[in-house]
Structure formats: C-alpha cells, structure tokens
Amino acid sequence: METKSWKKIKNNVYGEKGTERRDELEREFQGFKIGILLKKAREEKRLTQTELGDLVDKKREYRDWGIAIEFNGVYWHSEKNGKGKNYHLDKQKKCSDIGIRLVHILDTEWKSKEDIVRSRLSNLFGMSKRVYARKCRVGVVDNSTASVFFDRTHIQGRCAQSVAYGLWYEGTLVACMSFGKSRFSKKYEWELLRFSNELNTSVVGAAGKLFSYFKKLVNPKSVVSYCDLRWNTGNMYSAIGFTEVGRSSPNYWYTNNYTFLESRMRYQKHKLSNILPLFDESKSEWQNMSDNGFDRIWDCGNSVYVWNV
C-alpha cells in the first residue's frame, strides 16, 4: 500500500504553504491564543501586546494562570509518528506535578468545532459572560432540542439520551444536562451523559441545579459519569456530590486521512472482516487497521465519577 509523504498529507489537510487556506488557519489560531489572554494579562501583569505575543509564541505555558495549551496536529500526534498510548497522559501528569493544568486541543477540533473550542477556552480563562442559575427557570428539554443544543455547544456533540433538563434565562436555553441508562456498567442505574452551557457563557450553579432537578423527578439510586481528562479536571462532579472511583486507560480514535477521526467502537475486531478490504484473523485489531492504512490517536483517558443515594 502506498505510503503518503508528510508533505502531501500536510498540504491536503492544511493547504499548501503560502496559500490563503494555510495562512488563515495559522493566523486564526495564533491570533486567538494571544487575544484570549490579552485582557487578563494587561490587568494582572501589565504586559504589552508584543510582550504577551512573545510569551504565547515561545512558551505556550501560562504559568501565572496555571494553564498550558497544546495544539496537537493529529498527524504528528499519531501512533505511527511515535505518540503512543501514554504520551499525552504522561505529559499531562508532568504538568500537573508542577501545578499546571494542561489542555490538549486537536487540530481537527479547531477546524470542525472552532466556536466550541473558543468558548471553552474563554470559560477556562474566566472571560465568558456570567449568568446565575438561581435566576434561571428549570425544566424538561425535549430530546430533539437537547440534541441540537449539544451539537452546537458540546465538544463531543449529541448522545442518545432518555431525559434532558435545561435552564432558561430570559427565555433562552443557556444550559442543558442529559441522562440515560448506564452504558458500560450494570452496577449503576443511570449515567450523566452530557452537560454544557451556551457558547461563551458560564452559568454559575447550573450543574447543581440541573442535577438536583433530575434527582427530584427521577429519584435515582445511582448515577455514573465519565470525565474527559484531555479537557476537564472533574471539579464539577465533586461540587455536585459525585465521588471519583477510578480512572480509565487512555482511549483512541482511528483515522486514514488525518482530517477526520472515527470512534474505535466502529472498528472492534469482530466487525473488521465485514469492513476492511484486508483482514487477517490471526492479527490484532490494531495490526489489521494499520495494514489497511489507518493510524490512531490517543487521548488522556477518563475519570469515573459516581453518585449514590
């Protein structure tokens, strides 16, 4: 099978160097990294825009805020290019050991979900519009409305749910939380599937108010949820009464073009004989996928949080 050169792949994904497409992508992200911190830097450190630009471009570590951002091109951060199962997790742990929270952003997210990435980073740096849950009306959200809301505001998009609840501020849905039966463990009755706020908005107290509403209406015995460590710390779960009970190993996506990532669930070994042109039963899932031109990208795993009555 033909092996594509990195230059061809990069030109296909990002556009050739010097083209408008490539220049715009690089300019947009560099500009955002500088812009998102500008207000806070001037207020707290009295940095000029040039000084801040030097800080961002050279270090990408915002020690004064305890935050570091990694912008990961999926080609360079793939397994075939040396970034194995624990690469991103190990880097995150090293940052954590010195008091820095590391956030990993994939270039595919920036290209396909830029508004959501911008919003999450704005919230991370405390620069989102603030709304207070106590001033919001709480109620049931129909599944169609919830799915559209999550597609627009959640980095993972929609997820099949049984029930969803929301907060409305001045007539506008500003936060939503969804639940379904536990998908991966029969030990738990329910699973908290999705929670997100309106873009560029921080709804203070939203998670607590929505979870309390769910408990009031459903009277659950137990609830489990999974915290994506690439983006989150799990503080929200602790604040609303969940307990961390463990951490899963890093997970992965597959890609054959470095522009689109696919869930590993689609490519479980027992499904491969009906999907891949080349399949060898004696080989592992990964070996078969690799033989067919696929690569994989690892995340940082999940924290498992549980609430019990």
Q: Give pLDDT, residue 57.
A: 46
Task: Report the C-alpha gap between 57 and 236 in whole angstroms.
Answer: 31
Neighbour-count burial of 187, counting CB atoms closer than 10 A to its CB (0-12 exposed, 13-18 middle, 19+ buried): exposed
Contact 46, 38 (CB under 8 A): no
213 or 56: whose pLDDT is higher? 213
Residue 55's H or E segment, with its range, is helix 49-59
Q: Give pLDDT, residue 43.
A: 53
For the domain bounded by 130-220, which CATH number is listed? 3.40.630.30
Segment 80-103, tens digit of pLDDT: 999 999 999 998 998 888 788 889
Radius of gyration of the chain (CA): 21
Contact 261, 253 (CB under 8 A): yes
Show Cβ contacts of residue 3 under 8 Å, excluding neighbours closer than 6 positions: none
Proportion of the chain above pLDDT 70, given as a percent: 80
1 or 180: whose pLDDT is higher? 180
Segment 5-38, tens digit of pLDDT: 556 655 665 667 777 766 666 666 555 554 444 4
What angle separates helix 20-44 from helix 6-14, to the nearest 10 degrees? 70
User: Hey, which residues does 129 pair with through a beta bridge?
Assistant: 201
Contact 115, 199 (CB under 8 A): yes
Q: What is the mean pLDDT of the chain?
A: 87
Question: Residue 250's pLDDT band (boundaries 50, 70, 90)?
Answer: very high
Residue 1 has pLDDT above 50, yes or no: no
Question: Residue 59's pLDDT band (boundaries 50, 70, 90)?
Answer: very low
Task: Report the C-alpha gap between 192 and 201 in whole angstroms.
Answer: 21
- Range scoring the smallest mean pLDDT among 110-119, 238-247, 262-271: 110-119
Listed by start position, the domains of the chain span 6-128, 130-220
Average pLDDT over every residue of 148-174: 97
Residue 64 has pLDDT above 60, yes or no: no
Residue 44 has pLDDT above 90, yes or no: no
Task: Report the C-alpha gap between 93 and 283 in whole angstroms.
Answer: 33
Residue 186's H or E segment, with its range, is none
Task: Report the C-alpha gap between 86 and 295 in whole angstroms.
Answer: 16
Residue 40 has pLDDT above 60, yes or no: no
Contact 177, 211 (CB under 8 A): yes
